[in-house]
């Protein structure tokens, strides 16, 4: 799970090779971040727990270097700390680790922007603080200019080198944006791997991507291609959905944030490429 040194060529739109670890460097500062297409991951830290719980195969650092710019972070509130969980399963990391990896990446790649959903996961236990206070305590270890603290969705130039938190929890904060303000598609229950159930999921994903393509440029859209159930494990679902996504993305478009299980570099390439084409 080491660093990924991927490169992608945009010769068809007049660009030379682009390092995916800094692919946002040539996006105009004046673009609204809501006007971009950003590759993302669902349950970004879920690397353990077997086929019914694991959702990713790349470490967080590898995801960032491969071009992922939206991550989905789930924290349990336990003993006033924030271990990373997928349901009951501890993912051998804590929120402090997530922030350290993220800020370190942004230090080394100041042209980039990371969007991060933060959600409370599983049962809280043995706490004397609220979940929001525990998150704020972790965030306070970093300079405030490393996190987006402004009003509304930032322009690219305003947020370079920053973490933009999407707060999916109750309580006050000095940073970030409310997750509920996004236009979200997350129909994650897929009853089985039968073609009719995969098709139903794909239709909801495709419809929301088309909505993002055509909708208000000031709205931040988020589409989850992930799904699971007792008869459909995440890895099996993702194989089919990622294949459909790779064929779907094309040309100049705004797709919003696209969160995937077991993210693949070919899909990341296609999402990134739409931004370059839009700027060409």
Mind listing the pLDDT tens digit for each residue in 40-49?
A: 999 999 999 9
- Specify the CATH class of 7-279 in words: alpha beta
Per-residue pLDDT reduced to its tens digit, 2-22: 444 444 444 433 344 568 999
In this predicted structure, what is the pLDDT of residue 107?
A: 97
Rounded distance between C-alpha atoms, residue 133 and residue 230, angstroms: 35
The predicted model gives 57-86 an average pLDDT of: 98
Angle, CA 46 vertex, CA 44 and CA 51 arms, to 5°: 130
Closest CA to 6 of 57, 68, 56, 54: 68
In this predicted structure, what is the pLDDT of residue 112?
A: 98
Give the three-class secondary structure for 229. Answer: strand
In this predicted structure, what is the pLDDT of residue 123?
A: 97
Neighbour tally for 71: CB within 10 Å: 27
- The torsion angle over the Cα atoms of residues 197, 42, 55 and 98, rounded to 10 degrees, is -170
Rounded distance between C-alpha atoms, residue 90 and residue 6, angstroms: 30
Token pair listed for 74? 């789930």
Closest CA to 142 of 102, 194, 94, 109: 102
Stated pTM of the model: 0.93
Q: How far apart are the first and last CA of the chain?
A: 34
In this predicted structure, what is the pLDDT of residue 18?
A: 64
The predicted model gives 243-256 an average pLDDT of: 92
- Strand-pairing partners, residue 8, are 18
In this predicted structure, what is the pLDDT of residue 110?
A: 98
Q: Residue 1 pLDDT > 70, yes or no?
A: no
Q: Residue 170 pLDDT > 60, yes or no?
A: yes
More reliable by pLDDT, 16 or 171: 171
In this predicted structure, what is the pLDDT of residue 250?
A: 84
Closest CA to 139 of 84, 102, 181: 102
In this predicted structure, what is the pLDDT of residue 187?
A: 94
In this predicted structure, what is the pLDDT of residue 277?
A: 57
The continuous run of DSSP H or E covering 266 comes out as helix 265-279
- Strand-pairing partners, residue 74, are 119
Element counts in the chain: helices (H) and strands (E): 7, 12
Closest CA to 272 of 81, 211, 252, 121: 252
Token pair listed for 149? 């603290």
* pLDDT above 90: percentage of residues in the chain: 90
């Amino acid at each position: 799970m080491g660093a990924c040194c991927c490169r992608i060529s945009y010769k068809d739109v007049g660009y030379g090779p682009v390092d995916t670890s800094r692919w946002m460097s040539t996006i105009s500062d004046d673009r609204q971040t809501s006007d971009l297409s950003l590759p993302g991951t669902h349950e970004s830290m879920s690397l353990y727990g077997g086929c019914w719980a694991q959702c990713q195969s790349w470490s967080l650092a590898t995801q960032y270097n491969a071009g992922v710019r939206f991550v989905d972070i789930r924290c349990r509130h336990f003993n006033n700390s924030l271990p990373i969980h997928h349901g009951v399963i501890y993912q051998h990391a804590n929120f402090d680790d997530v922030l350290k990896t993220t800020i370190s990446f942004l230090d080394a790649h100041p042209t980039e922007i990371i969007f991060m959903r933060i959600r409370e996961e599983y049962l809280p236990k043995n706490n004397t603080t609220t979940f929001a206070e525990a998150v704020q305590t972790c965030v306070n270890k970093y300079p405030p200019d490393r996190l987006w603290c402004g009003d509304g969705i930032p322009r690219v130039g305003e947020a370079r080198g920053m973490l933009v938190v999407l707060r999916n929890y109750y309580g006050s904060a000095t940073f970030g944006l409310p997750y509920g303000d996004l236009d979200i598609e997350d129909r994650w229950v897929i009853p089985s791997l039968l073609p009719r159930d995969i098709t139903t999921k794909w239709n909801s994903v495709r419809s929301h991507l088309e909505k993002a393509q055509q909708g208000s440029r000031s709205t931040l859209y988020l589409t989850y291609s992930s799904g699971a159930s007792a008869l459909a494990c995440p890895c099996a679902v993702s194989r089919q959905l990622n294949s459909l996504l790779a064929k779907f993305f094309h040309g100049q478009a705004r797709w919003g944030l696209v969160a995937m299980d077991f993210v693949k570099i070919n899909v990341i390439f296609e999402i990134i490429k739409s931004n370059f084409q839009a700027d060409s």
